[in-house]
Amino acid sequence: MTLDTLTPSDTRTPSRRLTPRHLAQAVLLAACAVLATDCGPPAAEEARPGPLDGAPPAAQLVEQTYTTMGTELHLRAWTTDAVAAGEAFEAVFTEFDRLDALLSVWREGSDVVRLNLAAGREPVRVSADTLEVLQLARQLSEWTDGKFDVTFGALSGLWKFDHDQDDRIPARAEVARRLPLIDYRALVIDEAAGTAFLARAGMSAHLGGIGKGYALDRGAAILRARGIDDFLIQSGGDLYAGGLRDGAPWRLGIRDPRGPEDQVFARLDVSDATFSTSGDYERAFLENGRRYHHIIDPDTGEPAQGCRSVTIVARQAAIADALSTGVFLLGPARGMALVERLPDVDAVIVTDRNEVLVSSGLSDRLVRLAPPTDAP
């Protein structure tokens, strides 16, 4: 599981409205990158003529950035109404903050914090949103044979890859002692009562592998409800592309897992779909030639091996978010076999041998720009 996302609330900052000259300079590259042609700096600061009298306003790219859930949330819209887009963006920022207050493992009084404190003692009443995320997580756990498991939080104090990263390998005995506390089947959800319960004392839920994806789905619904159909939402390695940009699909790139931060090895045109990447490069350290990273195998308690990055394309952001982690943990062969069985799900996997595996649904859509960089 990933020891990331939903990080401490003190990283939250007010939204930053960007002027037109700043729009194309904003960075939309974390675990994945946006390669739309508007992403480069403008060639010149020329004044653009306004619309003729009576002519409809021209569509333009509107963007805002906000820090929430421990990372930057980037919103873009291709629209003729910048004011309406800005108001819709503020509603999305508010929704992300609301969900962070429910799903975070760092915010006192959150549903997840209360659930963990009551582990082994009693069920806890939680919000409808938290129940929905937990139920979806259970489904993803079944799909991935338990590799995606939100109860991996029992290990989060041993491996430290968030704001507290210390580049330390925990004692194997301590890891082994906590492994029995990881078991998604011991998470009891009572939908009728609106409660969740961790059956064993010491268990700990962590929604870092699915929470941002769930928030992206909610953000997309808010934008569409407000008439914004052409948009791009990115939070960390999770991205939702709605509609079109200037009449064409949004062009996205897959980051080279061993290259510079702004280097991509493939691109994909996406519309009305989600795009999520999990990689071993965002939070990691090397020791004795081995890479230790934040995607922890719940069966071994160690960073997973076999993949360098996994990119999932799907219709639902929460599913893409969780599957990018689950497929990474399953490894290239089992992970791709799962992807090929699921409807409306595709994947691009970079293995630890630097091989690139592409699911059948993307074989004629993915444009490879260069081989990924090969390095430990």
pLDDT for 282 equals 84
Per the structure, how many domains does the chain have? 2
Question: Which has more confidence, 107 or 55?
Answer: 107
pLDDT for 46 equals 36
Q: In terms of domains, do 215 and 166 share one?
A: no
**Mean per-residue pLDDT for 134-143?**
96
Describe the chain by its helix, strand, coil percentages, rounded to 5.
Answer: 30, 25, 45
**Mean per-residue pLDDT for 309-319?**
98
Q: In terms of domains, do 168 and 300 share one?
A: no
Handedness of CA 71, 22, 251, 254 (dihedral sign): negative
Of 67, 86, 65, 87, give the one whose Cα is nearest residue 75.
65
Instruction: Please say which residue of 198, 229, 253 terminates a domain.
Output: 198
**Mean per-residue pLDDT for 100-128?**
97
Q: In terms of domains, do 259 and 328 share one?
A: yes
Which pLDDT tens digit goes with each residue over 51-67?
A: 556 677 899 999 999 99
Q: How confident is the model at residue 162 (pLDDT cuts 50, 70, 90)?
A: confident
Q: In terms of domains, do 79 and 226 share one?
A: yes
Of 270, 260, 195, give the one whose Cα is nearest residue 240.
270
pLDDT for 207 equals 95
Domain with 185 in it: what CATH number?
1.10.3980.10
Domain with 328 in it: what CATH number?
3.10.520.10
Q: How confident is the model at residue 21 (pLDDT cuts 50, 70, 90)?
A: very low
**Mean per-residue pLDDT for 151-156?**
91
Instruction: Please say which residue of 129, 163, 198 terminates a domain.
Output: 198
Over 60: is that where the pLDDT of 246 sits?
yes
pLDDT for 83 equals 97
Provide the whole-model pTM. Answer: 0.86
Over 90: is that where the pLDDT of 142 sits?
yes
Computed over every residue of the chain, the mean pLDDT equals: 88
pLDDT for 78 equals 98
Which stretches of 41-171 are DSSP H helices?
82-103, 111-117, 128-143
| Main-chain dihedrals φ then ψ at residue 191, nearest 5 degrees | -65, -40
Please identify which residue in the block is written with the tokens 């291709």: 78
Q: How confident is the model at residue 91 (pLDDT cuts 50, 70, 90)?
A: very high
Over 80: is that where the pLDDT of 133 sits?
yes
* 201-219 b/e (C-beta count within 10 Å ≥ 16 → b): eebbbbbbbbbbbbbbbbb
pLDDT for 52 equals 56
Over 70: is that where the pLDDT of 28 sits?
no
CA dist., res. 130 & res. 149, Å (int)? 15
Q: How confident is the model at residue 33 (pLDDT cuts 50, 70, 90)?
A: very low
Over 50: is that where the pLDDT of 264 sits?
yes
In a domain, 222, yes or no: yes
Q: In terms of domains, do 127 and 244 share one?
A: no
Domain holding 305, by residue range, is: 9-40+58-96+210-368
Instruction: Please say which residue of 166, 198, 230 terminates a domain.
Output: 198
Query: Which of 36-40, 190-194, 333-337 is the least confident region?
Result: 36-40
pLDDT for 47 equals 39
CA dist., res. 292 & res. 91, Å (int)? 38
Q: Answer for the pair 81, 22: CB distance below 8 angstroms, yes or no.
A: no
Over 60: is that where the pLDDT of 111 sits?
yes
Q: How confident is the model at residue 320 (pLDDT cuts 50, 70, 90)?
A: very high
pLDDT for 31 equals 36
In a domain, 320, yes or no: yes
pLDDT for 51 equals 53
Please identify which residue in the block is written with the tokens 């990924």: 372
Q: In terms of domains, do 233 and 332 share one?
A: yes
pLDDT for 10 equals 37
Q: In terms of domains, do 74 and 118 share one?
A: no
Which pLDDT tens digit goes with each residue over 175-222?
A: 999 999 999 999 999 999 999 999 999 999 999 999 999 999 999 999
**Mean per-residue pLDDT for 81-89?**
98
Q: In terms of domains, do 217 and 276 share one?
A: yes
Over 80: is that where the pLDDT of 17 sits?
no
Q: How confident is the model at residue 2 (pLDDT cuts 50, 70, 90)?
A: low
